[in-house]
Amino acid sequence: MKRFIYFLVVIIILGAILFITRKDEEVQLTRVIVGHIGLANDLPAFIAFEKGFFREEGLDVELRKLESSKLASDALYAGGIDISAGSSLVNLLGAEANDPGKIMFYALGRTGKSENTTLGGFIVLETSSINTVADLAGKKIAVFPGNTATSFLTRYFKKNGVDPDTVLWQKMVPSNWLPSLDSGAVDAVYAYEPTYTLAKLRTENKVRVIAFGALEDEVDPLYLGGSTFAVRFVADNPDAAASYVRAFYRGIDFINTNESEARAILQSYINVPTEVAMNMNLYPDDKVDAIQRDKFQELSNLLFEEGTLPNAVNVMRDELYYVLP
């Protein structure tokens, strides 16, 4: 009888070990490093992470915060990250122009020139004597660093009868925009989200919006953010790439059907007041099959004409895009 009990215990233990082993094999996840820069363009990845979509697709995703689009692009090319949830298309197109064939787009973030779709607008203090776009001639205007903002705003001014040569551009990071406006160091700011909404909601140092949608005046929709794979990752991990895109696309769908919850998730990642997260214009992502490639090409052509790109990038070609198998 004792021998029987002994064998029974051994069988139970072995069975438990086999069950645990099988269970571990079933839940074994593929490790993926996803870079992001903490903008609304990254929201589908934040949602897929928080709602468990990545894990349901068999992925163990690490969301790695990078401090700029340039660092995100560099990390993607150098192998520091496998995937970018979103970064500036200016940097990505520049990298593609210099070293083609290393990335694939699986989504693009867009803005538009309407009030509810724009990335931002010109703001001045409520006490300012500036009331129209024409009044911005000869004024100091804070803008995002680099040449893209000034190039597009220069075109906008010319269309609206303002001599852009009279404008004194003050290039500075977004964290300095409102302090510079409040102190009088600048007369106006072309503010992007979320600073744009943060300024509009202030109860002290109130602001007025002079015009919005100037960046998108030339191309609408304007694709500004690119969600990208490293081509090497897709080649080495085709199943994981497909799993990732399915989860990311579920994140896009979630934003469309659960906007309030999506905004709450965004607030936890971009560190802005809840009221700002609930009111700011989002930066919607188009899945590959919804991308208006002709508009994307217009952007690429403009960047080349303005000297931002060393040569023209043909964004119409299929190999630049990842399509789910």
pLDDT for the residue numbered 271:
86
Tell which phi-psi region holds residue 41, choosing left (phi > 0), alpha (psi between -120 and 50) or beta.
alpha
Whether residues 39 and 98 fall in one domain: yes
Give me the domain span that covers residue 125.
120-217
Whether residues 125 and 97 fall in one domain: no
| Whole-structure pTM value | 0.88
Whether residues 76 and 141 fall in one domain: no
The H or E element spanning position 19 is helix 2-26
Whether residues 199 and 125 fall in one domain: yes
Domain at 82, CATH number: 3.40.190.10
**At which of 217, 252, 282 does a domain end?**
217
- The number of domains in the chain is 2
Measured CA to CA in angstroms, residue 54 lies from 74, 80, 122, 180 at distances of 24, 20, 39, 41
Measured CA to CA in angstroms, residue 277 lies from 18, 76, 210 at distances of 48, 28, 22
318/323 Cα distance (integer angstroms): 9
106/62 Cα distance (integer angstroms): 19
In a domain, 257, yes or no: yes
In a domain, 9, yes or no: no
Whether residues 169 and 313 fall in one domain: no
**At which of 186, 217, 248 does a domain end?**
217
In a domain, 70, yes or no: yes
Whether residues 300 and 314 fall in one domain: yes
Residue ranges in the chain modelled with pLDDT below 70: 1-27
pLDDT for the residue numbered 19:
46
**At which of 173, 195, 217 does a domain end?**
217
In a domain, 135, yes or no: yes
Smallest CA-to-CA distance from 161 within 129, 133, 139, 187 is with: 133
Task: For 238-266, write each residue's pLDDT tens digit.
Answer: 999 999 999 999 999 999 999 999 999 99
